[in-house]
Amino acid sequence: MSVPVLSAVGVDFVREGRAILDHIDLTVERGEHWALIGANGAGKSTLLALLGANEHPTRGTVEVLGKRIGRVEMRELRTLIGHVNPRHPLLNPLTTRQVVLTGGTGGTELPMRWRPSPEELERADYLLELMGMGALTESKWPNLSQGERGRTLIARALQSDPHVLLLDEPSTGLDIAAREHLLDRIDQLREQHPDLASVLVTHHLEELPASTTHAMLLRAGRVVAAGPADDVLTTDLVSETLDYPVAISRIEGRWAVRTRREQAVGSGGSSHMREQA
């Protein structure tokens, strides 16, 4: 029996006396691509931080390929994980290739006197080509568009050949064309690396790649539903998660959301929930 790529069992996370996560169970197997969906404050990014070995659970266990947080060094676990943060804290104007190379060094800047091996350079160029950035390997980070940065950061996360990719709202700040380009590249990446697992956080179902296989709905730190995407991303369950009546459809693999206006008017939904929907 194979060991799950990620496992969270009975996970609670409490900060300043407030329960951010309440008894979360999640198992991610090789080749599965999970989406974490919920409104602001639902606990999505906190759960991603736990899965990425950036936080310890207050209670319960989190394991990466069978290695438990708290029993092995966090830095060792992070070598198994590729983490994509669209707010990448880069201070120096590195080239696109250099940014990708930092994915194998454990930092955001290149270490002094460090020189990449021919194999590391070859992998960086391969990943940039895969993400549609092959013509921009020498472009400086400040000159890249938001969409180009997003694709570069995914290549960076893959440089160390991780077992799982964590994507924290990768479409943040993108226009429609850039978003669609990014999602197409994520679909292509998943097709070409069938053993890679991933977890993607987003507020918006429209930002889910068609290759999404599973989903977890979070509301106020608790799981509303989790499992195969088509069983979880339904009108009733998403409406319950957002506390607002929405209708979910899926066309050519992609999800769409619209308000069920007759129920929204009848329920007198708050402006806050209108924004979330």
Q: Which residue has the tokens 């009848």?
A: 266
Rounded-to-integer distance, Cα 129 and Cα 269, Å: 46
Phi-psi region of 184 (alpha: psi -120 to 50; beta: other; left: phi over 0): alpha
Cα separation, 18 vs 171, in Å, equals 29
Contact between 106 and 81 under an 8 Å Cβ cutoff? The reply is no
Q: Domain limits of the chain?
A: 91-161
- Sheet with 197-202: strands ordered across: 81-84, 164-168, 197-202, 33-37, 214-219, 222-228
Q: How confident is the model at residue 43 (pLDDT cuts 50, 70, 90)?
A: very high
Residue 90 has pLDDT above 70, yes or no: yes
Tell me the pLDDT band of 273, cut-offs 50, 70 and 90.
very low
pTM: 0.87
For residue range 200-252, what is the model confidence (pLDDT) as tens digits?
Answer: 999 889 999 999 999 999 999 999 999 999 999 999 999 999 999 999 999 98
182 vs 172: CA distance, rounded Å: 11
Please state, for a pLDDT cut of 90, what percent of the chain lies above it: 67
Both tokens of residue 196? 């890679």
Are 184 and 129 within 8 A, CB to CB? no
Q: How far apart are CA 44 and CA 39, in angstroms?
A: 9
Structure-token pair, residue 89: 């804290």
What is the DSSP pairing of strand 222-228 with strand 214-219? antiparallel
Mean pLDDT of 26-55: 94
User: Rounded distance, CA 128 to CA 185, Å?
Assistant: 11
**Range with the poorest average pLDDT among 12-16, 32-36, 72-76, 153-157:** 72-76
For residue 172, count CB atoms less than 10 angstroms from its CB and return exposed for 0-12, middle for 13-18, buried for 19 or more: middle
Amino acid 269: pLDDT: 47
Asked whether the beta carbons of 264 and 257 are under 8 A apart, the reply is no
